């Protein structure tokens, strides 16, 4: 057992009663092939991987399937409702996702604008409310809005997933204060989703006390996705440990680290 494993022995990410060791969640989109997806997943140490629900191409029903590479008994396959623009579409997609995955978890995404892919919070809220009543474990992708985050918790969402920046933008965390406010506003897990650009973006977000990070494009578009996956694994651990360790206060002026008394050749 490594030192960090010992220090994080009792530290779990817990969503809807299910415990996870890793606080890094990865998306499975845009990789070179399924083999690379699998290797990245293993290298990242993630235990949750998101997937999308799409029509089978009936003119060429390819035999190869993502599920041939990722064991659903070993990983939580978290389906999303990406591409949905209304609550109704998202609900129907979630129903299909439940049948396809055999589990009732859904990363709820209802997009409001194709250019920014920012969530339509009203539609997301409507869909979340319905799906929670249907018995789904709902993890909504939301704007970094602390007021709405609380509303999603109140209707029974199992976590909230505020964005760091737009999906696929790689801009990193744009509004740390809103994430802090969200962390304070809700007691369900806060998973910062979307906008991560590289491993370096992760520790400052984890240090705010959020529960997990979700990233996809930063892995898929890295020159070497496997190396990035390893970097992100340790970045998440570093950020979590740093949060638990507690950072020093920020000061405007310097404070010496060495004794000010007894400096040789003085006086």
Which residue of 2, 6, 10, 102 would you call a contact of another protein, by CB under 8 A?
102
Nearest to 210 by CA among 229, 225, 196: 196
Contacts (CB under 8 A) with another protein, residues 174-213: 194
Between 15 and 84, name the residue whose CB sits nearer to another protein. 84
Q: CB of 4: closest distance to another protein in angstroms?
A: 27
**Helix 176-185 and helix 146-154: axis angle, to 10°?**
30
DSSP-derived pairing of the beta strands 18-20 and 13-15: antiparallel
Tell whether residue 74 is a contact of another protein (CB under 8 A): no
Nearer to another protein, 8 or 66 (CB): 66
Per DSSP, the residues of 184-208 read: HH-SS-BEEES---SGGGHHHHHTT
Distance of alpha carbon 66 from alpha carbon 104, whole angstroms: 19
Q: Are strands 137-142 and 161-162 parallel, antiparallel or unpaired?
A: parallel
Q: Which of 246, 153, 224 is nearest to 191 (CA)?
A: 153
Q: Let me know: does 18 contact 76? Beta carbons within 8 Å.
A: yes
Q: Give the contact letters, 145-174, x = binds to another protein (CB under 8 A), - = no.
A: ----------------------xx------
**Residue 73 CB burial class (10 angstroms; 0-12, 13-18, ≥19):** exposed
**Rounded-to-integer distance, Cα 43 and Cα 208, Å:** 25
In whole angstroms, give the CA distance from residue 83 to residue 112.
10
Structure-token match 């990983």, residue found = 75
97 lines the binding site for another protein (CB under 8 A): yes
How far is the C-alpha of 177 from the C-alpha of 35, rounded, in Å? 39
Stretch that binds another protein, among 97-105, 221-229, 234-242, 255-263 (CB under 8 A): 97-105
Binds another protein (CB under 8 A): choice among 7, 8, 16, 52: 52
Site for another protein contains 84 (CB under 8 A): no
| CB 222 to another protein: min, Å | 14
**Which of 6, 17, 61, 254 is the binder for another protein (CB under 8 A)?**
61
- Out of 13, 15, 37, 235, point to the residue binding another protein (CB under 8 A): 37
- 107 catalytic per annotation: yes
**Which listed range, 46-54, 128-136, 147-155, 256-264, lies at the site for another protein (CB under 8 A)?**
46-54
Helix (H) / strand (E) containing 14: strand 13-15
> Which one of 38, 63, 107, 266 is the catalytic residue?
107
Nearest distance from residue 66's CB to another protein, in Å? Answer: 6
Which listed range, 24-32, 153-161, 203-211, 243-251, lies at the site for another protein (CB under 8 A)? 24-32
108 counts as binding another protein under rule CB under 8 A: no
Separation CA 134–CA 91 (nearest Å):
10
Contact call for residue 249 and another protein (CB under 8 A):
no
Active site residue ranges: 107
Binding site for another protein (CB under 8 A): 27-31, 34, 37, 50-59, 61, 63, 65-67, 72, 77, 79-80, 82, 92, 95-102, 167-168, 194, 214-217
């Amino acid at each position: 057992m490594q030192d960090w494993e010992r220090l994080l022995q009792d530290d779990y990410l817990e969503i809807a009663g299910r415990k996870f060791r890793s606080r890094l969640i990865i998306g499975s989109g845009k990789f070179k092939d399924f083999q690379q997806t699998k290797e990245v997943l293993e290298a990242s140490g993630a235990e949750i991987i998101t997937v999308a629900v799409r029509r089978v191409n009936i003119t060429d029903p390819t035999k190869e399937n993502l599920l041939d590479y990722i064991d659903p008994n070993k990983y939580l396959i978290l389906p999303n409702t990406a591409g949905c623009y209304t609550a109704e579409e998202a609900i129907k997609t979630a129903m299909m996702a439940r049948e396809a995955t055999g589990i009732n978890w859904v990363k709820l995404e209802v997009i409001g604008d194709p250019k920014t892919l920012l969530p339509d919070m009203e539609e997301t809220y409507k869909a979340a409310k319905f799906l929670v009543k249907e018995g789904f474990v709902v993890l909504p992708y939301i704007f970094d809005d602390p007021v709405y985050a609380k509303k999603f918790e109140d209707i029974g969402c199992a976590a909230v997933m505020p964005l760091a920046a737009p999906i696929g933008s790689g801009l990193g965390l744009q509004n740390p204060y809103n994430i802090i406010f969200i962390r304070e506003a809700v007691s369900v897990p806060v998973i910062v989703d979307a906008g991560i650009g590289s491993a370096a973006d992760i520790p400052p977000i984890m240090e705010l006390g959020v529960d997990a990070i979700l990233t996809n494009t930063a892995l898929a578009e890295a020159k070497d996705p496997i190396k990035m996956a390893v970097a992100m694994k340790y970045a998440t651990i570093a950020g979590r440990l740093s949060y638990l360790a507690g950072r020093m206060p920020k000061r405007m002026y310097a404070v010496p680290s060495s004794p000010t008394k007894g400096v040789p050749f003085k006086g």
